[in-house]
Amino acid sequence: MKIKMQAIELKEVFAGYDNVPVLKDISLKVGAGEFLGIIGPNGTGKSTLLRIMSSTLDISKGELLINEKSIYDYKRKELAKIEGVVSQQSFFSLPFKCFDIVLMGRFPYVGWREKREDYEIAIRAMKLTETYELKDRLIQEVSGGELQRIRIARALSQEPKILLIDEPTAHLDIYHEIGIFEILKSLNKEGLTVIITSHDLNTIGAYAKNLLLLNNGKIVKLGTPDEVLEKSLIEEVYHAHVVIKEHPITHTPLIIPIAE
Summarize the confidence of residues 210-217 as an average pLDDT. Answer: 96
Q: What is the pLDDT of residues 25-66, one digit of tens each?
A: 999 999 999 999 999 999 999 999 999 999 999 999 999 999
Domain assignment present for 241: no
pLDDT in tens, 69-109: 999 999 999 999 999 999 877 667 788 999 999 999 999 99
DSSP string, 26-76: EEEEEETT-EEEEE-STTSSHHHHHHHHTTSS--SEEEEEETTEEGGG--H
- Report the pLDDT value the prediction gives residue 111, as an integer from 0 to 100: 73
DSSP conformational letter for 239: T
Q: Are residues 106 and 212 in the same domain?
A: no
C-alpha 256/C-alpha 202 separation (Å) is: 9
The candidate with the shortest Cα–Cα distance to 194, out of 176, 182, 177, 178, is 182
Of 124, 159, 194, which marks where a domain is finished?
159
* Residue where one domain finishes, among candidates 159, 180, 206: 159
Q: Position 126: which residue type?
A: M
* Same-domain check for residues 112 and 189: no
**Residue 104 and residue 173 in one domain:** no
Assess if residue 217 is contained within a domain: yes
Q: Tell me, what's the pLDDT at 92?
A: 73
Domain boundary among 132, 159, 186: 159
pLDDT recorded at residue 2:
56
The pLDDT of 184-190, averaged and rounded, is 94
Query: 243 or 2, which is more confident?
Result: 243
Measure the CA–CA gap between 187 and 198, rounded to whole angstroms.
18
Instruction: Give the pTM.
Output: 0.93
Tell me: do 60 and 165 sit in the same domain: yes
Predicted pLDDT at 3: 62
Of the candidates 236, 227, 175, which has an alpha carbon nearest to the alpha carbon of residue 37?
Answer: 227
Check pLDDT > 60 for residue 1. Answer: no
Categorize the per-residue pLDDT at 122 as very low, low, confident or very high, splitting at 50, 70 and 90: very high
The whole-chain average pLDDT of the chain stands at: 92
pLDDT score, position 226: 95
Range of the domain at 186: 1-82+160-226
Q: Quick one: 67 and 3 in the same domain?
A: yes
Residue 18 — pLDDT band, cuts 50, 70, 90?
confident
